[in-house]
Structure 1
């Protein structure tokens, strides 16, 4: 841009000088015709006019070249902008790929049953390890269908684990399964004929444990047996 402005300024200066030389040469011709000015002075004025004419052509060419150079520089800047944008996109893609190489557990947990070793190649869908959640802690109570009618979400519960018979854990009912356990079995029974022996079904109730100390968090393991007592608000307590 600076070169273009300088070339335009030089062109403007050359045009002004040429205009003055043209006026001087015109006056010299008139004086020469009257015999007042010598032939040498007339030739000097003409030579100066011709020289400034050539100088203006040079200045005009320089201005055009500077303008073209400016356009070329702008085009090159555009290309560089595109290259920068492409590089930024590649960098962001690399960051995403790097982030994908690090998998984090969805909850606080302990790694159990690790099935891979460092440096081993894995494929999509391959089981790598199992996670045992340590926070939050909950248990699944299988209440009879004759009992679950009095259980509601938010009710308080007391849980005793067989591994720690002398300690009771506080809990609260979080959710009830929308169907009995038989409906989720591999071969659910069908009683469409009407000839069947009635069996009391079980409904899973999720109970979250509250205020579990760190000593017990590390010792409570999935699969342990427990005794659950839910304090219903209208019908006393419900035990399982």
Structure 2
């Protein structure tokens, strides 16, 4: 990797970290960049995953005020997300990708529909929840697990899936949901990164460049994301999700 390629990879890491902090799907910047500079797909995927972990930590720290009071739900959902991330990482290393790849656009489009209908669905869910219901039930746990499987396998748009799930099934201010989304996505990437470090071929130079860029990008992204009104954030998620799904369908 020459100097210009290294700068491109670092810049891609910065863009990915920022987008992940605000919405999700930053891997659609960093992963293709690694392919463009010559890495094999699986090596690019696992290296990208590991490199984005520090950015996830940076993004979660940037949203620390929005995470206040969410410790219990974060711990509960992180178990499901982390378990799913481990399963997804194992699938990446052991199974052919054709079948799994076929359902990825469907998952993303479903998340887009959930996010677009979030206010109405959240009211519907709230009206039918018992007054003493816990704020994390089986539905968000199941979706967090499925999103974790997807995130451990590929990762792009797992943030959209998680944010849509939280917005509908764990009613709260959307910016607080976005902060929790960063914790769960970081958990998925962290668990998968441990697996990849032990059992996959990793391009550590690429990891280092993406890590540096993603930390800076996530810190900046958190500053922007916490100031975006909920309606604007929801619109951005829907637009980006449609774009992600179309790109995955056409590749």
Same fold (TM over 0.5): no
Q: TM-score range by the shorter chain?
A: under 0.3
Structure with a larger share of its residues in strand: 1
Give the TM-score of the pair, scaled to structure 2.
Answer: 0.20
Q: Which fold has the larger relative contact order, with Cα–Cα distance below 8 Å and residues 6 or more apart in sequence?
A: 2
Structure with a larger share of its residues in helix: 2
Give the TM-score of the pair, scaled to structure 1.
Answer: 0.21
Q: Which has the larger radius of gyration?
A: 1
